[in-house]
Structure formats: structure tokens, C-alpha cells
Amino acid sequence: MVDKALTVALRALARFVMRLVPVLPAALCVAIGMPAMTAPAWADSPVILDGADEDSRRAILDLLPDRDEPTTLFEAERIGEEAAARALAWLRSEGYYAATVTPEASEDPPAARLVIELGPRFRFEAPEVIWTGETPEPHADYGVVRALNEVEYGAPARAAPVLSAQANALQALQAAGYANASAGERRVIVDHATARVTAQYRFDIGAITRLGSVRAEPNDLFRPSFVEQLQNWENGERYSPQALQQLRRDLTSTGAVSLATTRLEPPGPDGLSNVVVDVEAARRNAYELGVSYSTTEGFGVVGEWTRRNFTRRADALSIEATLAEMQQGVTVEWLRPHWAGRGHALTLGSELGREEIDAYTRTGAAIYGTVTASNRLRLGQSYGVRLAVDQYDDLVSDVRDAVVLSGFYNVRNDSTGFTLDPRDGSIVDLRVEPSVSAGDATLGFVRLIGEGRVYESFLDNDRLTLAARVLTGWLEPVSGSADDVPPDRRFYAGGGGSVRGYEYNSIYPAERDLLGLTPGGQGLLEASIEARYRFDNGWGAAVFIDGGTAFDDWSEAGDLSFGAGVGVRYDLGFAPLRIDFAVPLDDSESGDDFAVYISLGQAF
């Protein structure tokens, strides 16, 4: 009974989806010259089908239009004839060219019926290619042959491969440098005597296109030097669709344009075709507002104003204000995309802020400059420098004031593809931060941080994703004592992005407070495992377990505090909305019995 109910539910869902999209097989029939259906067709039909196999009958029923039961013989005949035309078109698109569909109608009671005889399923002969102009180079010809393998000798003569093979062959020619390649008339020859189908393709490739320089239109939106900087080919290189796609992506990723399209100019005297990027400017001013909440960290509101294309280099000037229970601050940043090469942006900024957690209260200011690799890069390198002046209160140690000059170098290898909701691939992130601190204590130290994440999806449409991460860090003094390192540069665990279920940054060696030492650990170790399941309607669920600790000696690294819980996800299209309910499993840590987190994006 359960299986039957599930089958009924899935059929109902499929019929609903079919109401939203045109019927593909019908379009394919029209495209290759078969009898066309006059309108999109959907779900429940009163027509009774006889003959054919169950799968074919189900497919035909899904194509038939939603009609009421006929009340007269005339209505039954009309419904039957309409259904017969649709059924025959679909059968031919599936290779049943000898099929017959006979409509029948009865008067008492009025009913429509189709009697279907499939006949033999026709098979493909080897496809034929006719070049109407020049013959392509061998590697391009080989690419076309591979693309036409969809129309494989002996395979069922379905309409879909005929169309997709032609599109793929055209893409192969363009990828080989024939930017002006075009497809001519396509013929599908059906031989009823042998039950064989031959697809004939005609292509006109033209000459090989070689790329020249690039410019944007309108020409007053960007500085020419900035657009030239995005050129990812040498003048004279063969045309590549991927190169132009990368150019559009590099430009739109800046946020300064809402749309970018590319076109080629006719070859000049040097035989090169210049590339023109037609752009539509995004709004110069952007406003953003974000809200987060957790029972351990409270409410948080972030507002940001951005002025785009500040100097006609697709740059941005932004002012961000943060107001949360644990953190308040204002940040001013200027971002120049592709400053240090494509995909590497320069950021200059300053900030004023206050942070209040159980371990300490920090008030300070900072200025910084960074070169940050885009998350779209498979392998990215980031680096920068920061000067911070901070004052610490609510401490038992003597470190109250600190001036810290620090740098960082970060290398990241990311094969996941989608940062906010990764489903497959891995991330390896390594970071080194050398620093010099003056104030109440003078010392030099280095922080080392490494993180690895792995994602693997299973079931249809990657419905189930297993995710795991490991994060470790260590702080090594070069001169002075590690106990004198400012408290915000030491390590802590706990919170929504760490060990869920615990207070934010609450996990570190408790004896440091008793001994009057600066809070936090000299080392850090965290690990998480999460299973995420997605339902068809955008909703999802998750179950997870986190573990982590901050410590002063590696012998203590195995003493992890664990948290576990469940979560709800809702796909907003651009990112999942995450609601997690977590409980701490370590009785030795003080805090609430549970914690709730609400935010955008996955926890990791």
C-alpha cells in the first residue's frame, strides 16, 4: 500500500511539473520535420489506451491535454482524434515510424479510445556529414565525429539525439576556432523497407577566427585600460568560446554591470577580429541589509551602502555598519577588482569596532590592505597587511593595550563550485600570519591555520550530501611569551561556525582564567560531520555532530567538546536558509541546554 501511495504521489508531482514546462518531445518532432502538435499538452486525459507497453502508455498519457469526460459521441471523436495525433507524433519521435494509432469512439457511454500498434523500432544508420564550404582541420573534424556519436549506428532512432548531436557538433567547430561556423539544412531519411534512419548534417565552417583586442561599449563606462586588463588571450590566438565566456564572467563578477555580452567585429587588415563587450551598468548605489540570530550570540544586524564603479575601474566604495549583541562596528572599504591579475582584488580599508564575549571585551581600530583571490578560482593565493590598535577590558591578565602589525599569506584549493552550498569536491585552506605586537608586552609570533573540507553527494539529483571538515591552528612565539599574545589573536572554539551548542568562543583552557593568564588557547582543533537531505519542494533537513577544543599543549588536543543536533534548510535560490538546533554534549562546559542558529548558507 505504501508503494502504491508513493507511486500515486510521484505521478501527481510529475503532472504538476509538466504544467510548468513545454513538452520537449513535441518540440523535437517539429524541429526535425515530423507532424507537429498544436499546443502544449499535460496531465489527466479521459482517453483509454490499448496496445503498446506500459512505459509508452504512461508517456503518451502525460502528453495528452487535460480534458473533461466526453458527454456526446461528437466530443468523444474529437478528443480521440486529437489524442491520436499527439500520440503518433510522440511515437515517431521515439523511433516508431511504422506505428499506427487508431482512434475509436463509443456513444453509450461516450468514451474515447486509442488502439496503438508500435511496429518495429527504427534504428540509426551512421550519420552523414556534408561540408558546404571548406573542410575543417583534422582535429576539428574529429571533434565533430565525436559529437555525432549520439546518433550511434544501431541505436533507437529518437529525435532528441538528432538535435543535440547537431548542436554539439557546432560547438566543437567553434571550440576549434571556427567562430562563424553554421549548420545548414538537416535531413532525416527514413527507410521503411529496412527500418533504418539516416541523419544528414550540413555545416559551413568559414575561416578560422583569430582574436584581436577588446573594448567595452558604451565606451564611457570603464577606462579602456581596465577592460584591456581583462583580456585573457594574446592577439592572434584562435577564437575560443571559453575565453569570451571568462571575459564576461570576470566583468560581471565585479558587480559594476548587470549584463555583459560579447560580439566579434569583422576581421581587420591584420586578419584579427576585435572583441566588443556590450555592457549594461548596474545601479551605482547598492544597499544591503542582513540579519542573523542565535541563542548563544543573540541578534545581529548588518547594513551596507556601496558606491559602484567609483573610478571607472569597476571598483566599489562601501560603508558597513554592524550592530549585534556581541559585536558593533563600522568598516569603510575600497575594493579594486582584478588589480593584481584577473581574479585577484585589492582591498584597502579601515574599521572601528567593539567586541564583547565572556573571555574579554575589545575596543579598537585598524587599517589594512589585502589582495584577495576570488572564490571562483580553483587555486587562489591571498595576502595582506594589517595594523591594529586595541584595548582590552574584563581581563584577569595584564595585557590591556596592544598595537599589532600583522601580515598573512593564504593559499586555497577549491573544487566545490558553489561556496554557499557545496555538494561535491573539496577545499584545502592554509594560512600563515606573522605578527609583531607592542604595548603592554612586546613580542613576535606566528599563527598557522589549516582547514580541509570534503563533500560527497548521493541519490538522484545529489539529494543527499555528506560533508566533513577538520580545522587546526597553532600559535608559535618568535620572541617573548605566548601568554602575552593579545587575547583576540589566541584560539577559541564554540559557536555557530565552530562547535554548535556552545557559547561563542567559550571553549578554551579554563585554568588560564584561574591563573590570571590571557584567555584562549595556543592551539585549536575542530572537526564536524553533517548529512544534508533535500526534498523536492525546496525544503531540506540536516543532522550533524561537531567537536572542538582550544589548548596549550598538543597532548590536550584529543580532549574535544562535542555538540550534536538537527537542522532545517530552505533553498532560496541563491543560498539555503539554515536553522540549526544543537545541544552540548560536554557537561563540564557551562552554558544553555541548547542553542538555535539562523543564518544564510551552510555551516561549512
According to CATH, where is 2.40.160.50 located in the chain?
Answer: 285-600
Rounded to an integer, the average pLDDT of 269-280 is: 95
**Residues 48 and 25: beta-carbon distance below 8 Å:** no
Rounded to an integer, the average pLDDT of 379-395 is: 93
**All three cell numbers of 599:** 543564518
Distance CA 452, CA 443 (A): 30
pTM summary value = 0.74
Question: Which pLDDT belongs to residue 574?
Answer: 83
Show the DSSP H helices in 176-287 as ranges.
224-229, 241-252
Mean pLDDT, rounded, of the chain: 89
Distance CA 92, CA 118 (A): 10
User: Percent of the chain at pLDDT above 90?
Assistant: 73
Distance CA 169, CA 464 (A): 35
Which range has the worst mean pLDDT, 79-93, 292-306, 329-343, 476-490? 292-306
Distance CA 396, CA 456 (A): 45
Q: Is the pLDDT assigned to residue 108 strictly greater than 80?
A: yes
Neighbours of 263 (CB within 10 A): 12
**Residues 116 and 99: beta-carbon distance below 8 Å:** yes
**All three cell numbers of 62:** 502525460
Question: Which pLDDT belongs to residue 334?
Answer: 97
Tens digits of per-residue pLDDT, 229-239? 999 999 999 99
What architecture (CATH level 2) is domain 13-117?
A: Roll (3.10)
Question: Which pLDDT belongs to residue 35?
Answer: 38
Q: Does domain 123-204 have CATH number 1.10.10.10?
A: no
Contacts for 30 with CB less than 8 Å, ≥ 6 apart: 36, 37
Question: Which pLDDT belongs to residue 589?
Answer: 64
Question: Which pLDDT belongs to residue 296?
Answer: 73
Question: Which pLDDT belongs to residue 590?
Answer: 62
Residue type for 591, please?
Answer: G
* Residue 521 vs residues 277, 440, 441, 510, 545: alpha-carbon distances, Å: 52, 19, 18, 10, 22
**Distance spanning both ends of the chain, measured CA to CA:** 40
Question: Which pLDDT belongs to residue 195?
Answer: 95
Task: Say which CATH superfamily domain 210-281 falls into.
Answer: membrane protein fhac (3.10.20.310)
Residue 241 preceded by cis peptide, ω within 30? no
Question: Which pLDDT belongs to residue 552?
Answer: 94
Distance CA 63, CA 85 (A): 11
Our CA angle for 238, 243, 245, nearest 5°, is: 140
Tens digits of per-residue pLDDT, 147-187? 999 899 999 999 999 999 999 999 999 999 999 999 999 99
Tens digits of per-residue pLDDT, 450-502? 999 999 999 888 899 999 999 999 999 999 999 999 999 999 999 988 999 99
* Residue 499 vs residues 327, 387, 562: alpha-carbon distances, Å: 19, 30, 7
Task: Enumerate the β-bridge partners of residue 117.
Answer: 100
Distance CA 519, CA 250 (A): 44
According to CATH, where is 3.10.20.310 located in the chain?
Answer: 123-204, 210-281
Tens digits of per-residue pLDDT, 538-579? 899 999 999 999 999 999 998 999 999 999 999 988 889 999
The dihedral over CA atoms of 495, 500, 501, 505, expressed in degrees to the nearest 10, equals -20
134 vs 465, higher pLDDT: 465
Place of cell 489527466: 44
Residue type for 279, please?
Answer: V
**All three cell numbers of 594:** 541548547
**Residue of 110, 14, 12, 115 lying closest to 57 (CA atoms):** 115
**Residues 397 and 369: beta-carbon distance below 8 Å:** no
Which element (helix H / strand E) includes 169?
Answer: helix 159-175
- Count CA atoms within 13 Å of residue 576 on its CB side: 27
Question: Which pLDDT belongs to residue 252?
Answer: 94
Exposed e or buried b for every residue in 555-586, given b needs 16+ CB within 10 A? eebeebbbbbbebebeeeeeebebbbebbbbb
Q: CATH assignment of 285-600?
A: 2.40.160.50
Residue type for 500, please?
Answer: R
